[in-house]
Chains A and B, each alone.
Chain A
Protein backbone atom coordinates (compact mmCIF):
# COMPACT_ATOMS: atom_id res chain seq x y z
CA UNK A 1 0.00 0.00 0.00
CA UNK A 2 1.18 3.55 -0.68
CA UNK A 3 2.18 5.63 2.31
CA UNK A 4 3.36 9.06 1.28
CA UNK A 5 6.03 10.87 3.22
CA UNK A 6 8.46 13.73 2.93
CA UNK A 7 12.15 14.03 3.70
CA UNK A 8 13.57 17.51 4.27
CA UNK A 9 17.34 17.77 4.28
CA UNK A 10 18.04 20.63 6.68
CA UNK A 11 21.69 20.55 5.65
CA UNK A 12 20.58 21.54 2.15
CA UNK A 13 17.83 24.01 3.16
CA UNK A 14 18.96 27.58 2.54
CA UNK A 15 15.93 29.25 4.13
CA UNK A 16 14.78 30.90 0.89
CA UNK A 17 11.06 30.34 1.60
CA UNK A 18 10.45 29.11 -1.96
CA UNK A 19 8.56 26.16 -0.46
CA UNK A 20 6.33 28.49 1.53
CA UNK A 21 5.65 30.79 -1.41
CA UNK A 22 5.05 28.04 -3.95
CA UNK A 23 2.70 26.32 -1.49
CA UNK A 24 0.75 29.51 -1.03
CA UNK A 25 0.51 30.10 -4.76
CA UNK A 26 -0.31 26.53 -5.73
CA UNK A 27 -2.93 26.01 -3.05
CA UNK A 28 -4.65 29.37 -3.26
CA UNK A 29 -3.85 30.05 0.40
CA UNK A 30 -5.53 33.29 1.52
CA UNK A 31 -3.70 36.47 2.44
CA UNK A 32 -2.42 36.34 6.00
CA UNK A 33 -2.34 32.54 6.10
CA UNK A 34 0.47 30.05 5.55
CA UNK A 35 0.33 26.28 5.31
CA UNK A 36 4.05 25.92 4.94
CA UNK A 37 6.47 27.96 7.01
CA UNK A 38 10.22 28.18 7.39
CA UNK A 39 11.08 28.94 10.99
CA UNK A 40 14.47 30.21 12.04
CA UNK A 41 16.33 28.29 14.70
CA UNK A 42 18.56 30.89 16.24
CA UNK A 43 17.57 34.40 17.30
CA UNK A 44 14.21 35.59 18.48
CA UNK A 45 13.16 36.85 15.05
CA UNK A 46 13.09 35.40 11.57
CA UNK A 47 16.48 35.19 9.89
CA UNK A 48 18.36 36.28 12.99
CA UNK A 49 21.14 34.20 14.53
CA UNK A 50 21.81 33.47 18.16
CA UNK A 51 25.22 33.98 19.69
CA UNK A 52 27.71 36.79 19.47
CA UNK A 53 29.56 38.50 16.67
CA UNK A 54 33.35 38.04 16.46
CA UNK A 55 35.16 40.56 18.59
CA UNK A 56 38.79 41.21 19.33
CA UNK A 57 39.96 38.34 17.15
CA UNK A 58 37.54 35.80 18.61
CA UNK A 59 35.57 33.55 16.33
CA UNK A 60 32.17 34.54 17.66
CA UNK A 61 29.35 32.09 18.28
CA UNK A 62 26.76 33.08 15.68
CA UNK A 63 24.50 30.21 14.73
CA UNK A 64 21.31 29.92 12.71
CA UNK A 65 19.48 27.17 10.87
CA UNK A 66 16.09 26.66 9.30
CA UNK A 67 13.17 24.55 10.36
CA UNK A 68 10.64 24.12 7.54
CA UNK A 69 7.30 23.19 9.10
CA UNK A 70 3.88 22.18 7.83
CA UNK A 71 1.35 19.43 8.47
CA UNK A 72 3.35 16.33 9.34
CA UNK A 73 0.64 13.97 8.05
CA UNK A 74 0.88 11.89 11.20
CA UNK A 75 0.00 8.22 11.07
CA UNK A 76 -1.44 8.58 14.56
CA UNK A 77 -2.93 12.03 14.05
CA UNK A 78 -4.51 13.69 17.12
CA UNK A 79 -6.43 16.09 14.85
CA UNK A 80 -8.27 13.17 13.26
CA UNK A 81 -9.26 11.70 16.62
CA UNK A 82 -10.92 14.84 17.98
CA UNK A 83 -12.96 15.90 14.95
CA UNK A 84 -16.59 15.40 16.00
CA UNK A 85 -17.89 15.35 12.42
CA UNK A 86 -15.05 13.35 10.82
CA UNK A 87 -14.15 16.25 8.55
CA UNK A 88 -10.46 15.64 9.16
CA UNK A 89 -9.53 12.19 7.98
CA UNK A 90 -6.61 10.09 6.87
CA UNK A 91 -6.59 8.83 3.30
CA UNK A 92 -5.46 5.34 2.38
CA UNK A 93 -2.27 6.80 0.93
CA UNK A 94 -1.36 8.39 4.27
CA UNK A 95 -2.31 11.98 3.47
CA UNK A 96 -4.33 13.75 6.18
CA UNK A 97 -7.02 15.88 4.57
CA UNK A 98 -9.99 18.01 5.51
CA UNK A 99 -13.44 17.73 3.96
CA UNK A 100 -14.29 21.42 3.86
CA UNK A 101 -17.97 20.68 3.29
CA UNK A 102 -18.07 18.80 6.58
CA UNK A 103 -15.88 21.14 8.66
CA UNK A 104 -17.93 23.12 11.17
CA UNK A 105 -15.03 25.30 12.30
CA UNK A 106 -14.96 24.13 15.92
CA UNK A 107 -11.14 24.33 15.87
CA UNK A 108 -10.71 21.32 18.15
CA UNK A 109 -8.27 19.93 15.58
CA UNK A 110 -6.16 23.07 15.82
CA UNK A 111 -5.89 22.71 19.58
CA UNK A 112 -4.97 19.03 19.19
CA UNK A 113 -2.27 19.52 16.56
CA UNK A 114 1.07 19.64 18.37
CA UNK A 115 2.73 21.17 15.29
CA UNK A 116 0.53 24.25 14.99
CA UNK A 117 0.12 23.29 11.36
CA UNK A 118 -3.49 24.34 10.87
CA UNK A 119 -4.99 27.73 10.13
CA UNK A 120 -8.54 28.99 10.48
CA UNK A 121 -10.30 31.23 8.01
CA UNK A 122 -11.50 33.88 10.44
CA UNK A 123 -12.60 36.17 7.64
CA UNK A 124 -13.73 35.91 4.07
CA UNK A 125 -10.58 34.72 2.25
CA UNK A 126 -8.74 37.45 0.35
CA UNK A 127 -6.46 36.70 -2.58
CA UNK A 128 -4.04 38.58 -4.80
CA UNK A 129 -5.03 38.53 -7.59
CA UNK A 130 -8.62 38.57 -6.43
CA UNK A 131 -9.56 35.55 -8.52
CA UNK A 132 -7.02 33.50 -6.60
CA UNK A 133 -4.00 31.48 -7.62
CA UNK A 134 -3.02 27.92 -8.38
CA UNK A 135 -5.17 24.91 -9.03
CA UNK A 136 -7.18 24.54 -5.85
CA UNK A 137 -10.58 26.00 -5.07
CA UNK A 138 -10.59 28.50 -2.21
CA UNK A 139 -11.92 27.41 1.14
CA UNK A 140 -14.79 29.35 2.68
CA UNK A 141 -14.75 31.51 5.79
CA UNK A 142 -15.17 29.53 9.00
CA UNK A 143 -13.23 26.39 8.14
CA UNK A 144 -9.81 25.07 9.11
CA UNK A 145 -7.27 24.41 6.38
CA UNK A 146 -3.74 23.06 6.05
CA UNK A 147 -1.14 21.37 3.84
CA UNK A 148 -2.45 18.45 1.78
CA UNK A 149 0.92 17.29 0.39
CA UNK A 150 -0.60 18.85 -2.76
CA UNK A 151 -2.87 15.82 -3.09
CA UNK A 152 -4.38 17.30 -6.26
CA UNK A 153 -0.93 17.15 -7.85
CA UNK A 154 -0.02 13.78 -6.38
CA UNK A 155 -3.19 12.31 -7.91
CA UNK A 156 -1.94 13.57 -11.28
CA UNK A 157 1.46 11.91 -10.80
CA UNK A 158 3.21 15.13 -9.81
CA UNK A 159 5.33 15.96 -6.79
CA UNK A 160 4.05 18.59 -4.31
CA UNK A 161 4.75 22.19 -5.31
CA UNK A 162 7.14 22.76 -2.40
CA UNK A 163 9.24 19.81 -3.55
CA UNK A 164 9.44 20.81 -7.20
CA UNK A 165 10.20 24.43 -6.40
CA UNK A 166 12.93 23.91 -3.80
CA UNK A 167 16.07 25.30 -5.48
CA UNK A 168 18.30 23.42 -3.06
CA UNK A 169 16.66 20.04 -3.81
CA UNK A 170 16.21 19.73 -0.06
CA UNK A 171 12.79 18.11 -0.29
CA UNK A 172 12.11 14.57 -1.41
CA UNK A 173 8.59 13.16 -1.57
CA UNK A 174 7.67 9.56 -2.07
CA UNK A 175 6.30 6.28 -0.84
CA UNK A 176 7.61 5.28 2.57
CA UNK A 177 6.19 1.79 2.06
CA UNK A 178 8.42 1.29 -0.98
CA UNK A 179 11.86 0.27 0.26
CA UNK A 180 13.34 1.32 -3.07
CA UNK A 181 12.02 4.89 -3.00
CA UNK A 182 14.44 7.71 -2.31
CA UNK A 183 12.53 8.77 0.81
CA UNK A 184 12.82 5.27 2.24
CA UNK A 185 16.50 5.02 1.33
CA UNK A 186 17.30 8.38 2.90
CA UNK A 187 15.37 7.58 6.08
CA UNK A 188 17.35 4.34 6.32
CA UNK A 189 20.72 5.83 5.40
CA UNK A 190 20.85 9.26 7.01
CA UNK A 191 20.48 10.56 10.51
CA UNK A 192 16.86 11.68 10.52
CA UNK A 193 14.53 12.97 13.18
CA UNK A 194 10.86 13.72 13.38
CA UNK A 195 9.30 16.62 15.24
CA UNK A 196 8.00 15.75 18.71
CA UNK A 197 8.77 12.09 18.08
CA UNK A 198 8.24 11.40 21.77
CA UNK A 199 4.52 12.18 21.43
CA UNK A 200 3.97 9.05 19.36
CA UNK A 201 2.14 10.84 16.55
CA UNK A 202 4.29 8.99 13.97
CA UNK A 203 4.79 11.96 11.63
CA UNK A 204 5.44 11.28 7.95
CA UNK A 205 7.93 14.12 7.60
CA UNK A 206 11.56 13.27 8.30
CA UNK A 207 14.35 15.81 8.74
CA UNK A 208 17.94 15.03 7.80
CA UNK A 209 20.57 16.63 10.02
CA UNK A 210 24.30 16.09 10.20
CA UNK A 211 25.48 14.65 6.91
CA UNK A 212 24.09 16.30 3.77
CA UNK A 213 22.24 13.97 1.39
CA UNK A 214 22.41 14.24 -2.42
CA UNK A 215 18.95 15.78 -2.18
CA UNK A 216 16.17 15.14 -4.69
CA UNK A 217 18.02 13.16 -7.33
CA UNK A 218 15.80 13.90 -10.30
CA UNK A 219 14.51 16.96 -12.04
CA UNK A 220 11.08 17.57 -13.42
CA UNK A 221 7.69 17.60 -11.76
CA UNK A 222 7.00 13.88 -11.75
CA UNK A 223 6.60 11.70 -8.73
CA UNK A 224 9.49 9.31 -8.48
CA UNK A 225 7.09 6.42 -9.15
CA UNK A 226 6.14 8.03 -12.46
CA UNK A 227 9.68 8.13 -13.82
CA UNK A 228 10.69 5.74 -16.59
CA UNK A 229 14.03 5.15 -14.93
CA UNK A 230 14.48 5.35 -11.20
CA UNK A 231 17.07 7.93 -10.14
CA UNK A 232 19.81 7.02 -7.74
CA UNK A 233 21.84 9.27 -5.47
CA UNK A 234 24.93 7.88 -7.20
CA UNK A 235 23.81 9.50 -10.45
CA UNK A 236 23.67 12.81 -8.68
CA UNK A 237 27.25 12.28 -7.53
CA UNK A 238 28.54 11.48 -11.04
CA UNK A 239 30.46 14.67 -12.03
CA UNK A 240 29.73 14.12 -15.72
CA UNK A 241 26.01 13.58 -15.39
CA UNK A 242 23.47 16.13 -16.54
CA UNK A 243 22.17 16.22 -12.99
CA UNK A 244 25.57 17.16 -11.61
CA UNK A 245 25.90 19.94 -14.19
CA UNK A 246 22.57 21.30 -13.05
CA UNK A 247 23.65 21.10 -9.42
CA UNK A 248 26.90 22.87 -10.16
CA UNK A 249 24.94 25.69 -11.73
CA UNK A 250 22.55 25.82 -8.78
CA UNK A 251 25.45 25.79 -6.32
CA UNK A 252 27.04 28.69 -8.14
CA UNK A 253 23.84 30.65 -7.72
CA UNK A 254 22.78 29.55 -4.25
CA UNK A 255 26.04 28.50 -2.69
CA UNK A 256 27.08 24.94 -1.94
CA UNK A 257 27.21 24.85 1.84
Chain B
Protein backbone atom coordinates (compact mmCIF):
# COMPACT_ATOMS: atom_id res chain seq x y z
CA UNK B 1 0.00 0.00 0.00
CA UNK B 2 1.46 3.34 -1.01
CA UNK B 3 1.65 6.39 1.23
CA UNK B 4 -0.91 8.15 -0.97
CA UNK B 5 -3.46 5.33 -0.77
CA UNK B 6 -3.35 4.92 3.00
CA UNK B 7 -6.53 5.97 4.78
CA UNK B 8 -6.31 8.72 7.37
CA UNK B 9 -5.71 7.44 10.88
CA UNK B 10 -8.90 7.22 12.91
CA UNK B 11 -8.49 5.90 16.45
CA UNK B 12 -10.98 3.17 17.24
CA UNK B 13 -12.98 3.20 20.49
CA UNK B 14 -11.37 -0.07 21.61
CA UNK B 15 -7.91 1.50 21.34
CA UNK B 16 -9.06 4.52 23.29
CA UNK B 17 -10.16 2.33 26.17
CA UNK B 18 -7.10 0.11 25.96
CA UNK B 19 -4.77 3.11 25.95
CA UNK B 20 -6.53 4.52 29.02
CA UNK B 21 -5.98 1.22 30.81
CA UNK B 22 -2.33 1.00 29.73
CA UNK B 23 -1.48 4.54 30.82
CA UNK B 24 -3.58 4.66 33.97
CA UNK B 25 -1.26 5.18 36.93
CA UNK B 26 1.87 5.23 34.75
CA UNK B 27 3.33 8.06 36.81
CA UNK B 28 3.50 10.37 33.83
CA UNK B 29 0.94 12.39 31.89
CA UNK B 30 -1.42 9.81 30.34
CA UNK B 31 -3.01 12.39 28.06
CA UNK B 32 0.38 13.25 26.58
CA UNK B 33 1.03 9.54 26.04
CA UNK B 34 -2.23 9.09 24.17
CA UNK B 35 -1.74 12.11 21.98
CA UNK B 36 1.81 11.09 21.13
CA UNK B 37 0.73 7.52 20.40
CA UNK B 38 -1.92 8.70 17.97
CA UNK B 39 0.44 11.10 16.27
CA UNK B 40 3.16 8.43 16.01
CA UNK B 41 0.73 6.44 13.86
CA UNK B 42 0.10 9.58 11.84
CA UNK B 43 3.84 9.69 11.09
CA UNK B 44 3.84 6.11 9.84
CA UNK B 45 0.68 6.87 7.94
CA UNK B 46 2.26 9.85 6.23
CA UNK B 47 -0.03 12.45 7.77
CA UNK B 48 2.69 14.00 9.93
CA UNK B 49 6.45 14.34 9.53
CA UNK B 50 8.92 13.31 12.22
CA UNK B 51 10.07 16.91 12.43
CA UNK B 52 6.53 18.19 13.03
CA UNK B 53 6.01 15.46 15.61
CA UNK B 54 9.23 16.29 17.41
CA UNK B 55 8.61 19.99 17.50
CA UNK B 56 4.97 19.57 18.53
CA UNK B 57 5.82 17.62 21.67
CA UNK B 58 9.35 18.75 22.51
CA UNK B 59 8.46 21.20 25.25
CA UNK B 60 5.84 18.95 26.81
CA UNK B 61 8.18 15.96 26.79
CA UNK B 62 10.99 17.98 28.35
CA UNK B 63 8.66 19.30 31.01
CA UNK B 64 7.24 15.85 31.77
CA UNK B 65 10.42 13.76 31.61
CA UNK B 66 13.16 16.35 32.08
CA UNK B 67 14.69 15.23 28.79
CA UNK B 68 13.73 14.54 25.21
CA UNK B 69 15.78 11.74 23.74
CA UNK B 70 13.35 10.77 21.00
CA UNK B 71 15.07 9.68 17.78
CA UNK B 72 12.77 11.97 15.79
CA UNK B 73 14.93 15.00 16.55
CA UNK B 74 15.66 16.77 13.27
CA UNK B 75 19.21 17.68 12.39
CA UNK B 76 20.08 21.10 13.70
CA UNK B 77 17.06 21.21 16.01
CA UNK B 78 17.65 23.77 18.71
CA UNK B 79 16.96 22.43 22.16
Contacts and interface: CB of A to CB of B under 8 A. Distances in A.
Interface in B1-37: 1, 3, 6-7, 9, 15, 18-19, 22-23, 26-28, 32-34, 36-37
A80 interface: yes
B69 interface: yes
Contacts of B43: 76, 78, 81
Nearest to A114: B41
Contacts of B70: 81-84, 86
Interface stretch (A146-154, A196-204, A229-237, A243-251): A196-204
B37 A111 contact: yes
B7 A198 contact: yes
Contacts of B46: 200
Main secondary structure of the interface of B (DSSP, over half): helix
Interface residues of B, number: 35
Contact of A85 (B7, B15, B32, B67): B67
Contacts, number: 91
Given A81-B43, A112-B40, 15 more contacts: A80-B71, A84-B65, A85-B65, A85-B67, A85-B69, A89-B71, A106-B33, A107-B22, A108-B36, A111-B22, A111-B34, A111-B37, A112-B36, A197-B1, A199-B45
14 contacts: A76-B43, A78-B37, A81-B53, A85-B65, A85-B69, A89-B71, A105-B26, A106-B28, A108-B37, A111-B33, A111-B37, A112-B40, A199-B6, A201-B41
Interface of B: 1, 3, 6-7, 9, 15, 18-19, 22-23, 26-28, 32-34, 36-37, 40-41, 43-46, 50, 53, 61, 64-65, 67-72
